[in-house]
């Protein structure tokens, strides 16, 4: 299970665009927490703190949102990150509060294992999808789905349907999507007997 990493924040009052801009100038990022059968909660998170959390743990998995003045943290998933199209800094966050007794859907990365064994065979990896969508209880949410390619030969490939999900986890992405293909190395001009453009120009 992916650990619920802590994010510290505080409630905020809904206001004008001008108030939001003031918060951003003071180093805060506005966001919203919504969930099933609950009113949306507007919040702010200190930008520096958030960057450290995301840099260390990434944006996937569970987070324990600790709001100032609240006795109990909220277990959330990050559903959307809005960024400035030019500066690429985060401008808004959407968190989804989850019920630990109900199944959730989430995207998790695919972790490739056995690459060294394939390279020793002379194969070249061509990667396809890098994430899959899964369905499970929050307590079973994995950090990644392992894809072992060590037994593959040149010309082989693996699809999402070939992946083995951990117990309690169902992969709901398209099973036909390609995860990895093992290609043969390209032959050099000398091996194929063909002239390169440079050789032809000197004749």
**Taking Cα atoms as reference points, which of 110, 109, 49, 99 lies closest to residue 74?**
99
pTM over 0.75: no
pLDDT at 40: 92
Question: How high is the pLDDT of residue 3?
Answer: 59
* 99 has a pLDDT exceeding 70: yes
According to the model, what pLDDT value does residue 119 have? 94
We find that the CATH architecture of domain 104-183 is: Beta Complex (2.170)
Choose the most confident range, by mean pLDDT, from 10-14, 168-172, 187-191.
168-172
pLDDT of residue 195: 47
pLDDT given for residue 15 in this prediction: 65
5-97 belongs to CATH 2.40.240.10: yes
pLDDT at 36 over 60: yes
What token pair was written down for 103?
């199944």
How does pLDDT run across 84-93, given as a tens digit for each residue? 898 888 889 9
3-state secondary structure the chain: CCCCEEEEEEECCCCCHHHHHHHHHCCEEEEEEEECCEEEEEEEEEHHHHHHHHHHHCCCCEEEEEECCCCCCEEEEEEEEEECCCCCCEEEEEEEECCCCCCEEEEEEEEEECHHHHHHCCCEEEECCCEEEEEECHHHCCCCEEEECCCCCCCCEEEHHHCCCCCCEEECCCCCCEEEEEECCCCCHHHHCCCCHHHHHHC
pLDDT band at 7; cut points 50, 70, 90: very high
Q: CATH 2.170.120.20 residue ranges in the chain?
A: 104-183
* Residues of each domain in the chain carrying CATH 2.40.240.10: 5-97
Predicted confidence band of residue 42 (pLDDT cuts 50, 70, 90): very high
């Amino acid at each position: 299970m992916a650990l619920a990493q802590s994010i510290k924040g505080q409630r905020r009052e809904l206001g004008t665009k001008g108030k939001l801009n003031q918060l951003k100038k003071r180093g805060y990022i506005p966001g919203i927490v919504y969930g099933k059968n609950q009113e949306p909660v507007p919040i702010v998170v200190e930008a520096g703190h958030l960057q450290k959390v995301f840099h260390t743990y990434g944006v996937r998995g569970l987070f324990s949102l600790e709001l100032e003045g609240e006795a109990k943290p909220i277990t959330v998933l990050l559903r959307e990150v809005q960024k400035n199209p030019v500066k690429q800094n985060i401008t808004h966050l959407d968190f989804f509060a989850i019920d630990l007794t109900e199944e959730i859907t989430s995207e998790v990365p695919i972790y490739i294992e056995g690459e060294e064994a394939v390279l020793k065979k002379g194969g070249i990896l061509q990667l396809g999808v890098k994430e899959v969508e899964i369905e499970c209880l929050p307590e079973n949410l994995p950090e990644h789905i392992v894809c072992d390619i060590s037994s593959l030969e040149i010309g082989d490939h693996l699809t999402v349907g070939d992946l083995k999900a951990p117990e309690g986890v169902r992969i709901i992405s398209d099973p036909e999507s390609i995860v990895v293909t093992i290609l043969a190395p390209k032959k050099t001009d000398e091996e194929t007997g063909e002239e390169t453009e440079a050789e032809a120009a000197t004749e």
